[in-house]
Amino acid sequence: MRIAIAIFLLLVLSGCSQPKQKPENLREKTADATAQFKSDAKALAQGVKEGWNRDRPLDLNSASKDDLLSLPGINDERAERIIAARPYREPHELVSRRILTEQEYERIKDQVSAKN
């Protein structure tokens, strides 16, 4: 009886297996999955970078343009002006050098530093 049940289960399970895929289909599915993984990995890496730097002030003397653009109220023109006026001894020089207004500086003052 046990042998009959085992044979029956084996036949049922073999009927449930998927047919063998063609190599072309498998290659295409693998390429699609790899492209999706690449996109996800890039987003993950950017998220890690943002999270790592979230609690640290942004150094005006070494920040990239993209980093500066992440600050509230900083557009392309202002980011380029900040970079062009380097180095800074203190962050408030953004105001004294007329790169930002006092009001604009107030929005980012807790998010920036000027390391020498």
- Could you tell me which of 21, 108, 97 has the C-alpha nearest to residue 63? 108
Give the C-alpha separation, 4 to 11, whole Å. Answer: 11
The CA distance from 67 to 90, in Å, is 18
Query: Model confidence over 36-45: pLDDT tens digits?
Result: 767 776 777 7
Could you tell me the CA-to-CA distances from 101 to 52, 55, 65 in Å, in that order?
29, 24, 19
Angle at 113 between CA 48 and CA 115, to 5 degrees: 100
Other CB atoms within 10 A of residue 68 CB: 21
Neighbours of 95 (CB within 10 A): 16
58-114 pLDDT, tens digit each:
999 999 999 999 999 999 999 999 999 999 999 999 999 999 999 999 999 999 999
CATH architecture of 58-113: Orthogonal Bundle (1.10)
In this prediction, residue 58 carries a pLDDT of 92
Instruction: Please tell me the predicted confidence (pLDDT) of residue 38.
Output: 73
pLDDT score at 66? 94
* pTM score over 0.85: no
More confident residue, 91 or 13: 91
Mean predicted confidence (pLDDT) in 8-29? 68
